[in-house]
């Protein structure tokens, strides 16, 4: 048993990253538990591990007394003197116990205790291994499917890719290698759960860090991302180097950088005319981030033109954007997508109004304060937009 035990400890340390001291502690506790089940108490039991031989020894400690009341804890002076004539009353004598005497049921209980300790250790190791990859991209292999998830093997664990975390129209088959964004790692009694996504806005950011050196080294910073996966994304960027233009860097010469990012996604849509699934590209709009919120919202509404950006005095995160009548549908976007993405990108709740709608509102509200009109004039001037009285 000795060599096998030492070899088992070595394998568990090297391959499972379980500390040998923790295993020894678990075995020790298990043997004490088994002893207690067999004899009804474990106060006198001492368990020792021999580092050289790899053996566990169990000893009971008995006190030398005149009259024995509990033979598991005490030994008479007469019996002690028969062992060694130097023993006296009050001395403590150790007796080695045979582990086999604890019985098969007790041994099975000890094994279960050891296995549970090992499972806890392995859960903790696995949790720590993947927790450090939270908010990062990992590459895995598609293993299996069910109604809720695609299960992606990341090495020592299957991550869960839910339907809402998949890019609509993307189809995978078993053994496909895919990249996923790790957004949450949980440790619970049933095991470690790793949740991954391909639709998460941060997935775009991490892909750009991989594909664009200036983003990776921090020269160009991605300030925010708003995404409707498989369809359209808005990315707000700024440069920390006056000689590097942020939008041009992200797009790349001839759109090369954006094409590299888009190539990571493979959505398809059903063509109503042919009845076939055809590839589609996720459109990525790159927006110049600026500190001024009005100008940032102006940029975010692109490609539509903006006349005014008006802020609600009672709600600092609410803005009304006034656009030319002929740009209203463009500003709102298909099914409200453009304004929705702009709102997520900027962090403001945005209402879109046409110029004629806004003029009608002004006519109905003659009490509008002059100070508010002045602030609108200033915003318009900042945006280099003509304002008519």
Question: 281 and 338: one domain?
Answer: no
134 lies in some domain: no
Q: What's the pLDDT band for 382 if we cut at 50, 70, 90?
A: very low
Question: 156 and 100: one domain?
Answer: no
**Closest by Cα among 265, 282, 156, 167 to 231:** 282
pLDDT mean over 220-240? 96
Residue 17's pLDDT is 66
Residue 97's pLDDT is 79
Listed residues 258, 289, 320: the one ending a domain: 289
Residue 340's pLDDT is 96
Q: Report the alpha-carbon distance of residue 301 to residue 309 in Å, rounded.
A: 11
Chain centroid, CA 172 distance in Å: 22
pLDDT tens for 40-85 read: 666 678 888 888 877 778 888 889 998 998 887 889 999 999 999 9
Residue 186's pLDDT is 95
Question: 312 and 232: one domain?
Answer: no
159 lies in some domain: yes
- Cβ count near 168 (within 10 Å): 15
Question: 97 and 170: one domain?
Answer: no
Question: 319 and 284: one domain?
Answer: no
What is the total count of domains within the chain?
4
What CATH number does residue 146 fall under? 2.40.50.140
Question: 209 and 192: one domain?
Answer: no
Question: 125 and 8: one domain?
Answer: yes
Question: 171 and 238: one domain?
Answer: no
Q: Report the alpha-carbon distance of residue 58 to residue 64 in Å, rounded.
A: 20
**104-131 helix and 20-39 helix, angle to the nearest 10 degrees:** 150
11 lies in some domain: yes
What CATH number does residue 357 fall under? 3.30.300.20
Q: What's the pLDDT band for 1 if we cut at 50, 70, 90?
A: very low
3-class SS of residue 352 = strand
Question: 145 and 210: one domain?
Answer: no
Question: 213 and 302: one domain?
Answer: no
Residues whose CB falls within 8 Å of the CB of residue 369, separated by 6 or more in sequence, listed in order: none
What CATH number does residue 61 fall under? 3.30.1480.10
342 lies in some domain: yes
Question: 331 and 383: one domain?
Answer: yes
Residue 385's pLDDT is 46
Range from 96-100, 280-284, 377-381 that averages highest in pLDDT? 280-284
Question: 118 and 6: one domain?
Answer: yes
Listed residues 83, 106, 129: the one ending a domain: 129
212 lies in some domain: yes
pLDDT mean over 102-110? 61
pLDDT tens for 111-148 read: 676 677 778 878 888 899 999 999 999 999 999 999 89
Residue 105's pLDDT is 59
pLDDT tens for 145-195 read: 998 999 999 998 999 999 999 999 999 999 999 999 999 999 988 889 999
Q: Is the pLDDT of residue 329 over 80?
A: yes
223 lies in some domain: yes
Q: Report the alpha-carbon distance of residue 108 to residue 58 in Å, rounded.
A: 17
273 lies in some domain: yes
pLDDT mean over 6-34? 76
Q: Report the alpha-carbon distance of residue 122 to residue 388 in Å, rounded.
A: 70
283-288 β-sheet, strand order: 220-228, 232-239, 283-288
Please state which of the ranges 18-22, 86-90, 354-358 shows the lowest mean pLDDT. 18-22
Q: What's the pLDDT band for 383 if we cut at 50, 70, 90?
A: very low
pLDDT tens for 242-300 read: 999 999 999 999 999 999 999 999 888 878 888 888 888 899 999 999 999 999 999 99
Listed residues 129, 159, 188: the one ending a domain: 129
Q: Are strands 149-153 and 158-162 parallel, antiparallel or unpaired?
A: antiparallel
Q: Is the pLDDT of residue 389 over 50?
A: no
Specify the higher pLDDT residue, 385 or 81.
81
Domain of residue 146 covers 139-197
192 lies in some domain: yes
Structure tokens at 354: 């046409």
């Amino acid at each position: 048993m000795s060599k096998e035990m030492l070899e088992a400890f070595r394998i568990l340390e090297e391959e499972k990253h379980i500390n040998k001291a923790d295993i020894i502690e678990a075995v020790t506790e298990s043997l004490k538990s088994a002893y207690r089940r067999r004899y009804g108490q474990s106060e006198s039991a001492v368990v020792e591990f021999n580092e050289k031989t790899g053996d566990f020894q169990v000893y009971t400690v008995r006190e030398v007394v005149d009259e024995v009341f509990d033979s598991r804890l005490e030994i008479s002076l007469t019996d002690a003197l028969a062992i060694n004539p130097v023993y006296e009353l009050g001395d403590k004598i150790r007796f080695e116990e045979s582990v086999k005497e604890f019985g098969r049921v007790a041994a099975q209980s000890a094994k279960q205790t050891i296995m549970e300790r090992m499972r806890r250790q392995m859960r903790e190791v696995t949790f720590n291994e993947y927790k450090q990859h939270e908010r990062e991209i990992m590459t895995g292999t598609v293993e299996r499917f069910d109604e809720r998830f695609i299960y992606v093997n990341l090495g020592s664990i299957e991550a869960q890719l839910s339907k809402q975390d998949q890019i609509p129209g993307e189809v995978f088959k078993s053994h496909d290698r895919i990249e996923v964004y790790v957004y949450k790692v949980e440790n619970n009694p049933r095991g470690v759960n790793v949740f991954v996504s391909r639709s998460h806005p941060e997935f775009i950011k991490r892909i750009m860090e991989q594909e664009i050196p200036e983003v990776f080294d921090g020269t160009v910073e991605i300030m925010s991302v708003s995404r409707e996966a498989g369809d359209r994304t808005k990315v707000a960027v700024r440069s920390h180097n006056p000689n590097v233009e942020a939008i041009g860097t992200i797009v790349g010469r001839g759109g090369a950088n954006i094409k590299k990012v888009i190539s990571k996604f493979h959505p398809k849509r059903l063509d109503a005319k042919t009845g076939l699934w055809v590839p589609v590209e996720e459109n990525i709009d790159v927006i110049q981030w600026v500190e001024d919120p009005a100008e940032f919202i102006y940029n975010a509404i692109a490609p539509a033109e903006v006349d005014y950006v008006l802020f609600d005095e009672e709600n600092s995160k609410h803005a009304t954007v006034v656009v030319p009548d002929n740009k209203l549908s463009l500003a709102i976007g298909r099914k409200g997508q453009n304004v929705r993405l702009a709102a997520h990108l900027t962090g403001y709740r945005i209402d879109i109004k046409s110029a004629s709608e806004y003029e009608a509102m002004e006519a109905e509200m003659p009490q509008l304060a002059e100070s508010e009109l002045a602030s609108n004039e200033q915003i318009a001037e900042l945006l280099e937009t003509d304002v008519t009285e």
